[in-house]
Amino acid sequence: MELIVASTVGVLTAGGVYLLLRLRTFPVILGLALLSYAVNVFLFASGRLAIDQSPILAKYGEATYTDPLPQALVLTAIVISFGMTAVLVMIGLGAYLEAESDRVDIEPEMRDATDKGESA
């Protein structure tokens, strides 16, 4: 189980970093979302991966339980990442409507030259 979770965190992180290095706005936003998912899975896994156990102490028996604090942190992180993604989408949409391009590295002089079909 730990190998699957560790592999998932690694794949999400690698995909997020790859998308962050793209030169377009929308893949950068998706890359940030993937990185936040990787952090959420990592935080969730830090509370011990226990199968078929209650998140609180059992009434009788030994004290085997999963830690509820990482679960609360993940829920908070999900809400924060959703809000952050919404703000980034609106900023990216505003930049696209203003510049008529979603590239993040293009300068205004080069944009005018590429719109006219000239090569720089």
- pLDDT confidence of 114, banded at 50, 70, 90? low
Residue in the block written with tokens 């189980």: 1
Q: What is the pTM of this model?
A: 0.71
Tell me: pLDDT of 119 over 60.
Answer: no
Residue in the block written with tokens 């990592």: 42
Do 38 and 19 touch, CB atoms closer than 8 A?
Answer: no
pLDDT digits (tens, 9 = 90+) for 26-39: 898 999 999 999 99
Q: Torsions phi, psi of 101, nearest 5?
A: -155, 150
**Residue range 2-51+65-115, CATH number:** 1.10.287
Cα dihedral sign, 39-40-43-44? negative
pLDDT digits (tens, 9 = 90+) for 53-81: 666 666 666 666 667 788 888 899 999 99
Residues whose CB falls within 8 Å of the CB of residue 15, separated by 6 or more in sequence, listed in order: 31, 34
Q: Torsions phi, psi of 103, nearest 5?
A: -75, 145
